[in-house]
Chains A and B, each alone.
Chain A
Amino acid sequence: MRVALAVPCYVDQFRPQAARAALALLERLGCDVRLAFDAPCCGQPMYNAGQHRAARAAADNWARASSDFDAIVMPSGSCTHYVRHHLPALLDSRPSAHAARVTYELCEFIAGPLGRPTLSGRFPHRVAMHLGCHAQRGLRLGGASELHQPVDGSMRTLLAGLEGLTFADLDRPDECCGFGGSFAVGEPDVSVSMGRDKLADVARHHADVLVSSDPSCLLHLEAVARARGDALRTLHIAELLEEATR
């Protein structure tokens, strides 16, 4: 299957290893992956800050880049949620409607169009999961505790087959980590407090790895952990799967 890997702006610069892992994973699963997705950003950072005018040029560029592809995979629940649910209303254009139709979050793509292949591998670690709110409650890629559903989702399904992996189930498995885009700097104290609470939950359950399908959550959580000298390892789901199945 031919797909484009659309790498979000901050992943390109701050966490390229997540994109490389996503690429390797998709190829291992038989995809013909195109990387010439030459729009750097979907516009979400500006859009979520209410700055629609500032968002439009980036969004339009992104939507036009999507026109060349029949399937686009993003290693980010948050960006995917925005592309699917907000981009069309922001631009009201044919490319944006197309983008909303063909864009998938990575785990969603593996569990859906790729037909949920069984991934075998070994990852002898105790893993805590953080799905990311936009993947979870926006894209519904995992159950929500508010809706009395088990908080598992497509990420857990992908990890469940790995040998040696044990899950560290958190006390508040779907509590927000506090990143929230511009919130992280507009409300820095609450943001960091939420991050610390998430890390404390992870530590309470003796996880040695925190995995997320959202690199933006990881960017924040890793920074909070580092400031505290916390040795917790944070991995994007693609990084973990790549390491485990290599």
Chain B
Amino acid sequence: MSREFLSPRTGHARAAAGFLGDAERAAWHDQSLWLVRQKRDRATALPEWEALRDAGAALKAHAMSRLAALLEQFERTATANGVRVHWARDAAEHNAIVLGILAEANVTRVSKSKSMLTEECGLNPYLEAHGIEVVDTDLGERIVQLAKEPPSHIVMPAIHWKREEIGALFHRTIGTPAGESDPDRLTAAARVHLRDTLLTAGAGITGANVLVAETGGVVVCTNEGNADLGMHTAPIHIACAGIEKIVATRDDLGVLLRLLARSGTGQPVTSYTTHVNSPKPGGAMHVVLVNNGRTSRLADEAMRSALHCIRCGACLNTCPVYRRSGGYSYGHVIQGPIGAILAPGVDLGAHHELAFASTLCGSCADVCPVRINIPEQLLTWRERAAAAGHAPRGYGVLFPVLGWFLSRLDRFEWGARIARRLQRWLPAALLGGRANPWTRPGRALPVLADESFRDWARREGRHQ
């Protein structure tokens, strides 16, 4: 790629250009996700949908306003029910707690159902470095795990994989017949493979879609039933959850369950919604409550509502940028619009450019089941990035210069006259070369009119 003044040479824009390099695959990716968005539209066409979104936003804001009390209530109730509750300040502490539980029980193989929190904490590589085998049980997660990749979508981890590629991967890793690419048969093969593996797992790790303070319970939603297979088969269940997952009551849970699957996959509810309030007879259950930067977000009034996220993935599916740039372009465990407002909060220096990977079209805010004001937060991150010296390359020069020209009519018209001359005398090839990001991907140079509106108005004696 040629050097450009404005486009970063690394990061989202470059990764997106790479993804779009395979135009056919990019179009397929866009269409796959658009179909999910359309399913969402159909599933959310309820008369009370907007009121439900209001309730979702309100119950989350309420939970954030009483977060400490709710977590204490959860701990009290869960402990009384025989659950061990652990607290982790950060990812390292979370991983160490999980390892400690496994080591104490001499566990060498664990199953894990989909949990974005454990991805955030890097639990898999950590446990593997300590000699523990981790088997991801969600089919999509298993696919990317076998391929040694991270998920590219928080709900559909392997949305970027084509069936033939999965067939080849399964042939290589779990021994399906060469050339097999039928989704039914590949899924059946994965089922057998996973069931065999799970029988010998010493613990089942799950995430938590919701923690309910009132019951001290953990709620896990899956379509495959894989979380159940993991947590009920092994003697130990470990649920890992960010502290923001808590809600006050079962009534609140009911609202979220109505919103979650409808928004995410266009289903009225997931096939399995599991409520675990206590360990199974003879078994053990642990809940690890993780902070890992969430309290900083909580203290940041303008950005706080990002903690409302229920990880439904609707904003990814609707995002015209995500659909065309792929999950990996975000370089963060959470992708898409919600990732673009979460990641800069984790490390502004590393992720500031995600705030610019949006047209601010607002579709994300309109599908968000808990009404997170994503475009507004993107704008705030842009401002903070600029203030912290992290603006995209060239912005710190271009925009002050532009601002100078645009701040007074005489400067503006003087600049426009110069530009008009340049346009007349310089060859278009020079202005529109490969170094110009406007023209490089296939866009003609805009043409300045021979006479501006104001010049016309003056000529007509209308400038009054």
- Interface residues of chain A, those whose CB is within 8 Å of chain B, are 7, 9, 11-17, 19-20, 23, 34-36, 38-41, 43, 45-58, 60-61, 86, 133-134, 136-138, 144-148, 172, 174-176, 178-197, 219-220, 222-224, 226-228
- Interface residues of chain B, those whose CB is within 8 Å of chain A, are 4, 6-8, 12-13, 16-17, 20, 26, 30, 34, 41, 44-45, 49-50, 318, 320-321, 324-325, 355-363, 365-367, 379, 381-387, 391-392, 395-396, 399-400, 402-404, 406-409, 412-413, 416, 419, 437-449, 451-454, 456-457, 462-464
- For residue A137, which residues in chain B have a CB less than 8 angstroms away from its CB? 361-363, 365-366
A187 and B7 contacting across the interface, CB-CB below 8 Å: yes
Supposing A61-B407, A188-B441, A226-B444 touch, asked if A133 and B360 sit within 8 A by C-beta, the answer is yes
Residue among A7, A16, A19 having the largest count of chain B Cβ atoms under 10 Å: A16
Selected contact of A9 from candidates B7, B325, B396, B412, CB within 8 Å: B412
B399 and A189 contacting across the interface, CB-CB below 8 Å: no
Supposing A45-B402, A50-B379, A190-B321 touch, asked if A61 and B408 sit within 8 A by C-beta, the answer is yes
B363 and A146 contacting across the interface, CB-CB below 8 Å: yes
Supposing A7-B454, A34-B464, A148-B44 touch, asked if A51 and B320 sit within 8 A by C-beta, the answer is no
Least CB distance from A38 to B in Å reads: 5
B437 and A188 contacting across the interface, CB-CB below 8 Å: yes
Give 10 new A-B contacts, CB below 8 A, not counting A54-B404, A187-B13.
A9-B406, A17-B449, A43-B406, A50-B355, A51-B396, A133-B361, A137-B361, A185-B438, A186-B6, A227-B442
Interface on chain B toward A: helix, strand, loop, or mixed SS?
A: helix
- For residue A43, which residues in chain B have a CB less than 8 angstroms away from its CB? 403, 406
4 tightest A-B CB contacts, nearest first? A50-B382, A180-B359, A54-B403, A146-B366
A176 and B408 contacting across the interface, CB-CB below 8 Å: no
- For residue B325, which residues in chain A have a CB less than 8 angstroms away from its CB? 190
- For residue A180, which residues in chain B have a CB less than 8 angstroms away from its CB? 358-361
A194 and B324 contacting across the interface, CB-CB below 8 Å: yes
> What CA separation (Å) do A202 and B379 show in the bound complex?
30
Least CB distance from A76 to B in Å reads: 13
> What CA separation (Å) do A124 and B313 show in the bound complex?
43
B382 and A55 contacting across the interface, CB-CB below 8 Å: no
Least CB distance from B268 to A in Å reads: 16
17 intermolecular pairs with C-beta atoms under 8 Å apart: A11-B453, A12-B453, A17-B449, A49-B395, A50-B395, A51-B386, A52-B383, A54-B400, A175-B363, A176-B359, A188-B13, A189-B17, A191-B441, A194-B324, A223-B445, A227-B439, A227-B442
